[in-house]
Chain A
Amino acid sequence: MAGVLGTSIKRREDPALITGRGKYTDDLLVEGMAHAAIVRSPYAHARIRGIDTSAAKTYPGVVAVLTARDVAAAGIPGMVPVGWLLPDLKTPAHPMIAADTVRHVGDAVAVVVAEDRYVARDAAERVAVDYEPLDAVADVVAALEDGAPTVHDDAPGNVAFDWEIGEKDPVDAAFAQAAHTVELDLRNNRLIPHAIEPRAALASYDSSTGVMTIHMTSQNPHVHRLLMTLASLGMPEHKVRIVAPEVGGGFGSKIHHYADEAIVGLCSLKLDRPVKWTATRTETNLTDAHGRDHSTHCAMAFDGDGRITGLRVDTKAAMGAYLSTFAPAVPTYLYGTLMSGQYDIPAIHCHVTGVFTHTAPVDAYRGAGRPEATFVVERLMHLAGEATGLGPIEVRKRNFVPADAFPYQTQVALAYDSGNYGPAMDRALEMIGYDDLCREQASRRGNGNGRRQMGIGFSSYIEACGLAPSAVVGSLGAQAGQWESADVRVHPTGSVTVYTGSSSHGQGHETTFSQIVADRLGVAPEAVEVIHGDTDLVQFGMGTYGSRSAAVGGSAIAGSVDKIIEKGKKIAAHLLEAAAEDLEYEDGSFRVAGSPDRALGLGDVALQAYLAHNYPDDLEPGLSATTFYDPANFTYPFGTHVCVVEVDTETGSIELLRYTAVDDVGNVINPMIVDGQLHGGLAQGIGQALWENAVYDDSGQLVSGSLMDYALPKIHNLIQFELDRTTTPCPHNPLGVKGVGEAGAIASPPAVVNAVVDALKPFGVTHIDMPLTPEKVWRAVNAD
């Protein structure tokens, strides 16, 4: 249907979700279902001397209490796996239930199954674990110091990996000859994902068939099934079915294979009855993989014209107590490879140390590596604007990869396929009214450095998303491919069902994927059903993360639709007694070129495809097609964001005044959904910059474990974002789309911090670590 692509049709998912009719895992009720509560370590590091389950077992309503012994007795592998390997990566064992040592607050030590969840909780408090507390280290820098407590004996010095990209010597040479240099020590604060739906699983083992069905909060059901088969439950894939019902957000936290879902599976297997577990918010905060947590030293060198000659980055990245599913990839291949930003940088070297700490694991969280890289590059560019005297705009423009230089090979592996960075920045400047802002700022500064200072911050970001060419990620250590699948079936009457391996958890796949089909196949979007999130219904697929659904999942759908049209042409040609080459497909009909009255609708052709009465000899019946689309490259969205803040220098409070974002995400399928993704990403990125912080104390207790202490952005903290787009289509996928899911979270933290630092320039402030709490700002203003 013409005009359906690129229009803001409403999300078909919403009526049910908004009116409470969506079925999430915790909404599912199954006959005979019992409830699990997981007993978790209150210590960051302790030896387990013994566990006495007797009081819990005899508590009325308790069905069973299982510990590590039961994992062993069940004869399953019982391990939580890591799915991305780096050279010399230390991969200490991560038992799904701790046997002798716990390594973070929240580590699972036992599980209680009871007739209801209240009883399960009550009984969990009666499991007596005899702990011998040990010294713990929660801080990524402290963990590398001599004499720091060791998280794993098989990872001496708490080093999980030592990784580098780029070449060091040319960078050293660039610094030796530099006209200007800037440098920065920074912390990228640890974040807790906070999907609105906590993780949950309902495992139903059917002993009559030997099939285990797990309904769970998953961004990638097939990946979960694969990892469970290989590492935790050890059941063969054809005997495991993973279903992701409605999933209430993930931001990466529901990619990973956690101990919990496997524990619930074990319970069901052992008890031969369905068992459900839903994390409390506290549990979620203690056990969901966190994001970020870097300590970084970085520096940039410039020649006399303000052109970048070198970039040096050294990062200590927390891994937490165990390696989560994609953890090793995040601060390496999703971070070091982004260090060129939008700039032509001739020499880059990035060194990263992965560090075990006695904390929750750290893994992919919205942006995953790219926000951290963007923060490094864009903070340095802000400082460079000052150091070179060029200011924030000229220093960026002077170093942009020129529009005629694409494809552009960076010094850190990635080859940018397309880009045009200047217009996005110009548009942002125009929207924000930059010259007026500068005048206003000057008048406030002139006014004896009045109490309310104003600052303007920029972030010109690039990201690599649409994960990703399988061969490339395979060569970098991924233990999975990164293609996506789509099975598109045209029914005999011409309506369509799409089976996609991309599993929605709030993004709106059902709407946008139906738009893709509607546009290409010339049917109404309402005639397209989109099925996802069930390993029994859908062919193998990789899931939703890394802003890949449209670029990879959508391209797979487009591929299948194209195959269907090709086949349809053959059928139509037979029926119309024309040559297939002479047929055109437009607006849902097959037409003989030049004879408009010789045409057949999709429904007519589909019906014949299934009747196969009057049919080409060399063609199989049916009208469906499957595509496994493996992209040729990442996609590279980019843009410029501008943030304007007011800082009350008396208290350090920050008020957002304006936020303008001009993004280039390629062709747009549904502008409303794209804007919504940006709004959400911006809220999270601004949240990281101003409020969010996962804080562990020295003993490894999470002191910001509840929403009373962990400050998520609230609607009244934010402002109306001003958005616009430039459009540079992706040259290598059939839709020309890139990705938008993470852009807001990637771009915004440095824009906000740059704005605050700019506001405080009269006070000599050059950096404040995130989150920029009023107290930190006040102390920076008042520092000598």
Chain B
Amino acid sequence: MYPAQFDYRRAGSVDEALGLLQEHEDAKLMAGGHSLIPMMKLRLAQPPVVIDIGRLDELKGISEAGGGVRVGALTTHADIAASDILAASCPVLAEAAGHIGDAQVRNRGTIGGNIAHADPGSDLPPVLVLLGASVHLQSPSGARSVAAADFFQDLLMTDVGEDEILTHVDVPAQSAGAGAAYLKFEHPASGYAVVGAAASVTVQHGRCTAAGLVIGGVGAVPTAVDVSSLVGADLSDDAIATAASGLDTEDPLGDIFASGDYRVHVGKVYGKRALAAARDRA
């Protein structure tokens, strides 16, 4: 559990961090360090330089912005879980953040680090895809944003470029009549999600007008399930079960704890349960 030699730099601003990234090849940004440091201790990552962005206040905090919520990249899971703003306008994100690891992990880990690391068992990615969040990135040449659904590319691979910093995530506010839920099937060892099911259902005038379901843990990236059959339907348990059973992953992940087949099965069960919970909250 001893990392290889590395240099440590602390950035005082986003610009300084971007400059350091340019200056040092193969450098790694460090936010909460709760994914990076374990990788370094196992020597799976051996960056020559670690750039600590953990104290950049400009990237911290939760605010209302443009009819949605802006969450700074360095906002901790604990702050997300406890946010009044999110509780009011997007409680499912807070719910998911509250399921992450334990108190220490939630106090250190950040939303930016969580999604930039993109572990397939992470809790936040399926929720952000479900919500249609956008991820904002900054590089020396400017800023851009990318839809969460496009941000996650493969196992531990995202759209963050080598010269970019993730600055914030914009989450649309939940519409009236919407209910959403996140259900987690926890790995008994790691505590990560074997399956994480994020579901939303909008009911207006007694009719389902929108529904979404995204499953984490089953594939390399969050898997969206087509549940459009629920729109206009009665949202009965049967209808929900049928919709959730549409989960389809070509090459599901598997390990010694849960095979691919089993993960897909649990994805369907948890998808069903998450949709039912969302319905009950709508």
B189 touches A775 (CB 8 A): no
A704 touches B256 (CB 8 A): yes
Which A residues are CB-close (under 8 A) to B4? Answer: 122
Decide yes or no whether A717 CB sits under 8 A from chain B: yes
Q: Which residues of A622-654 have CB atoms within 8 Å of chain B's CB atoms?
A: 650-651, 653
A650 CA / B4 CA spacing, docked (Å)? 46
A653 CA / B262 CA spacing, docked (Å)? 12
Which B residues are CB-close (under 8 A) to A714? Answer: 191
A691 CA / B187 CA spacing, docked (Å)? 10
Q: Which residue of B lies closest to A707 (CB)?
A: B189
Which A residues are CB-close (under 8 A) to B191? Answer: 714
A709 touches B255 (CB 8 A): yes
B266 touches A651 (CB 8 A): yes
Which A residues are CB-close (under 8 A) to B257? Answer: 709, 711, 773, 775
Residue with the highest number of chain A CB atoms closer than 10 Å, among B1, B191, B259: B1
Which B residues are CB-close (under 8 A) to A695? Answer: 256
Which B residues are CB-close (under 8 A) to A434? Answer: none
Decide yes or no whether B188 CB sits under 8 A from chain A: yes
A778 touches B189 (CB 8 A): no
Beyond A691-B188, A773-B257, whether A778 also contacts B265 by CB under 8 A is yes
Residue with the highest number of chain B CB atoms closer than 10 Å, among A118, A651, A710: A651
Tally of A interface residues using CB under 8 Å? 31
Q: Which residue of A lies closest to B272 (CB)?
A: A650
Taken residue by residue from 681 to 720, chain A's Cβ proximity to chain B (1 for < 8 Å, 0 otherwise) reads as 0000000001101010000000110111111101001000
Decide yes or no whether A121 CB sits under 8 A from chain B: yes
Which A residues are CB-close (under 8 A) to B1? Answer: 280-282
Which B residues are CB-close (under 8 A) to A122? Answer: 4-5
A118 touches B2 (CB 8 A): yes
Beyond A709-B256, A778-B262, whether A121 also contacts B2 by CB under 8 A is yes
A775 touches B188 (CB 8 A): no
Interface size class of B (residues with CB under 8 A): 20 to 34
A712 CA / B5 CA spacing, docked (Å)? 31
B269 touches A651 (CB 8 A): yes
The interface residues of chain A, by DSSP majority, are classed as loop
Decide yes or no whether A117 CB sits under 8 A from chain B: yes
Q: Which residues of A381-407 have CB atoms within 8 Å of chain B's CB atoms?
A: none
A117 CA / B1 CA spacing, docked (Å)? 10
Beyond A695-B256, A704-B256, A778-B265, whether A711 also contacts B2 by CB under 8 A is no
The interface residues of chain B, by DSSP majority, are classed as loop
Decide yes or no whether B190 CB sits under 8 A from chain A: yes
Which of A282, A651, A709, A775 makes the CB contact (< 8 A) with B259? A775
A708 touches B189 (CB 8 A): yes
Tell me how far the C-beta of B112 lies from the nearest C-beta in chain A, rounded to whole angstroms. Answer: 22
Which B residues are CB-close (under 8 A) to A707? Answer: 189-190
Which B residues are CB-close (under 8 A) to A121? Answer: 2
Tell me how far the C-beta of B102 lies from the nearest C-beta in chain A, rounded to whole angstroms. Answer: 9
A708 touches B190 (CB 8 A): yes
A363 CA / B161 CA spacing, docked (Å)? 51
Q: Which residue of B lies closest to A278 (CB)?
A: B1
Which B residues are CB-close (under 8 A) to A709? Answer: 189-190, 255-257
A399 CA / B5 CA spacing, docked (Å)? 65
A117 CA / B257 CA spacing, docked (Å)? 34
Decide yes or no whether B258 CB sits under 8 A from chain A: yes
Which A residues are CB-close (under 8 A) to B187? Answer: 711
A485 CA / B51 CA spacing, docked (Å)? 58
A693 CA / B258 CA spacing, docked (Å)? 13
A775 touches B258 (CB 8 A): yes
Residue with the highest number of chain B CB atoms closer than 10 Å, among A280, A708, A710, A773: A708
Beyond A118-B5, A122-B5, A651-B269, whether A711 also contacts B262 by CB under 8 A is no
A779 CA / B43 CA spacing, docked (Å)? 37
Taken residue by residue from 242 to 282, chain B's Cβ proximity to chain A (1 for < 8 Å, 0 otherwise) reads as 00000000000001111100100110011000000000000
Which B residues are CB-close (under 8 A) to A778? Answer: 262, 265
A298 CA / B255 CA spacing, docked (Å)? 31
Which B residues are CB-close (under 8 A) to A125? Answer: 43
A730 CA / B50 CA spacing, docked (Å)? 62
A118 CA / B40 CA spacing, docked (Å)? 13
A-B CB proximity, top 9 nearest: A711-B188, A711-B189, A775-B262, A708-B190, A121-B2, A280-B1, A691-B188, A695-B256, A118-B2
19 A-B pairs in the complex with CB atoms less than 8 angstroms apart: A118-B2, A118-B3, A122-B4, A280-B1, A651-B269, A691-B188, A704-B256, A707-B190, A708-B189, A708-B190, A709-B190, A709-B255, A709-B256, A710-B189, A711-B188, A711-B189, A712-B189, A774-B258, A778-B262
Chain A interface (Cβ within 8 Å of chain B)? 117-118, 121-122, 125, 280-282, 650-651, 653, 690-691, 693, 695, 703-704, 706-712, 714, 717, 773-775, 778-779
7 more CB-based (< 8 A) A-B contacts, given A695-B256, A711-B257: A117-B2, A280-B1, A281-B1, A282-B1, A650-B269, A691-B189, A773-B188
